[in-house]
Amino acid sequence: MNRWAGELAGRLLTVVVAFGLAFGLFALSGFDVGSIASGVLEGSLLGTGAVSNTIRWTIPLCLIGLGIAVSFRAGEFNIGAQGQMLIGSLLAVWVALEWNGPKFAVITLATVLAVLGGAAWSGVAGWLKVRAQADEVITTLMLNFVALQLVQWVTTGPLKDVATSGDSASTSRIDRSLRVQGSGEISIEIVALTALVAIGVWLLLERSRLGLHVSYVGGESSAAAWQGLPIARVQLISYLVAGALAGLTGAVEVFGPAGRVVTGATPLIGFTALIVTVVASYKVAGTVVSALFFGGLQAAILYLPIVSDVPVSGLRIVEGLVAMLITARVAVFLRRRRSASACSEASRHEASPEASSEMADAAEVR
C-alpha cells in the first residue's frame, strides 16, 4: 500500500510540474494564465456540461489505452491504434448506413465487424513482426496513414455526405434511431461497456495464464524462450487484442457522440491514448485514471478558445510534458532495476560452485 501511495504521489507531482512548466511558458508568451487556469477547470469539471464532455473523451481513451496496455506489456510497441480505430469506425458506419434492420441487430453486426476489422488491421503488423521481424513502430505507423487515406476516399466517395467537402468531408450521419449517445450526453450503456472491458482486460492480464505469458514475453523474453513459451503466438494475440479494442472504439464513436466518420477528424484519439498508457505504466487501474485525466484535459482544450486567446495547441504542451516527465521517471527506474538485476546475477554466478567449475572447465579447454 505504501509503495502504491508513493507511486501515485510521484505521478501527481509529475502532473503538477507539467502544468507549472506549461503555464510558465504561457506567461512568458504574454497569455493570461489566470483565464487559462479558469478555462481548464470550467471546461473539464465546473462548467455546464463539463463532466459529460470529460466522460465523453475518457471512454475512447480508456478503451484504446487498455488495448495498448496489453500490447506494450507483451513488449510490442504498437502505435497504430488511430488507424485501427478508423477502420472500425468505417465498418460500423457502412453497416449503419447500408443495412436496414432492427436496431439491436444493426448495432451488433456493426460492432462485431468493427472489432474484427480493428483486430485484422493490427494483426497485419503483428504477422509482419512475428514472421519477418518487421519493425512494428514503422508498420503500425504506416498503416495509420493507409487508414487515413481510406477514410478520405470513403468520405469523399462511396458514403459521402453531399453537404460536406474538403477537410470537413464526412459520411452521412447514421439514423438517429441507431444512436446510443448524442453529443453532450452520457450513455449508461457505453459507460457500462467500458467498465466491463476494463474488468475483462484486468482479468486477462492479472488472473489468466495468457496474462502471465504476456508479462514474461514482454519483460523476460530470454527466460520465456528458455521455458518454451509460444512467444510469437503471445505477441500476435497482443496485437489482435489491441486492434479489437481500437475497432470497438470506432463503433462506439459512430453509434455514440460522433454519429459519422469525418476526414481529418480531431483530436487524434489513438495517439493521445498512447500517452494515457505510458502515464499509467501499462496498468489497468492506472489506465482508467489516466484516461479520466486526459479526457478532462481534452474537454478543456475544446472549451478553452471560448474564454481565452491561447491556441488550441497550447494545452497539447501539457500532454507532451506529462508523457515526457513520466517516461523519464520510468526510464530511470528501469535502468536501476536492470543494473541491480545484473549485479545480482553476477554475484550469484561468482558464489555458485557450478559456475566456478564451468569456468575452470572452459579454461582447461582453452
CB atoms within 10 A of CB 169: 20
Contact 103, 174 (CB under 8 A): no
Which has the closest alpha carbon to 116: 288, 304, 283, 245? Answer: 245
- pLDDT value at position 333? 56
- pLDDT value at position 284? 94
- pLDDT value at position 275? 85
- pLDDT value at position 219? 82
Q: What is the DSSP letter of 313?
A: G
- Write out the three cell numbers for 292: 479520466
What gap in Å lies between CA 201 and CA 69, rounded to an integer? 9
* Kind plus residue range of the DSSP H or E element containing 113: helix 103-132
- pLDDT value at position 267? 62
For residue 277, give the amino acid letter: T
What gap in Å lies between CA 115 and CA 362, rounded to an integer? 55
Question: 78: which residues sit within 8 A by CB, 6+ positions away?
Answer: 68, 71, 72, 122, 125, 126, 136, 140, 238, 239, 242
- pLDDT value at position 302? 85
- pLDDT value at position 332? 63
| Residue-level pLDDT, tens digit, the chain, 366 residues | 456 566 767 777 777 888 888 889 888 988 888 888 888 899 999 888 899 999 999 999 999 999 999 999 999 999 999 999 999 999 999 999 999 999 999 999 999 999 999 999 999 999 999 999 999 999 999 999 999 999 999 999 999 998 888 778 899 999 999 999 876 778 999 999 999 999 999 999 999 999 999 998 988 777 777 878 899 999 999 999 999 999 999 999 999 999 999 987 656 789 889 888 988 888 999 999 999 999 998 898 888 888 887 777 777 787 778 777 776 766 665 566 556 555 655 555 554 444 444 434 434 433
Which has the closest alpha carbon to 59: 246, 194, 189? Answer: 194
What gap in Å lies between CA 37 and CA 304, rounded to an integer? 9
Question: For 170, phi and psi rounded to 5 degrees?
Answer: -150, 170
CB atoms within 10 A of CB 58: 25
Distance of CA 215 to the CA centre of its chain: 18
CB atoms within 10 A of CB 187: 20
Q: What is the reported pTM?
A: 0.86
112-123 in b/e form (b: 16+ CB < 10 A) is: bbbbbbbbbbbb
3-state secondary structure of 261: coil
Which has the closest alpha carbon to 67: 199, 201, 267, 253? Answer: 201
What gap in Å lies between CA 224 and CA 209, rounded to an integer? 13
What gap in Å lies between CA 83 and CA 250, rounded to an integer? 10
Which has the closest alpha carbon to 89: 248, 205, 220, 223? Answer: 248
268-302 in b/e form (b: 16+ CB < 10 A) is: ebbebbbbbbbbbbbbbebbbbbbbbbbbbbbbbe
- Write out the three cell numbers for 321: 510534458
- pLDDT value at position 361? 46
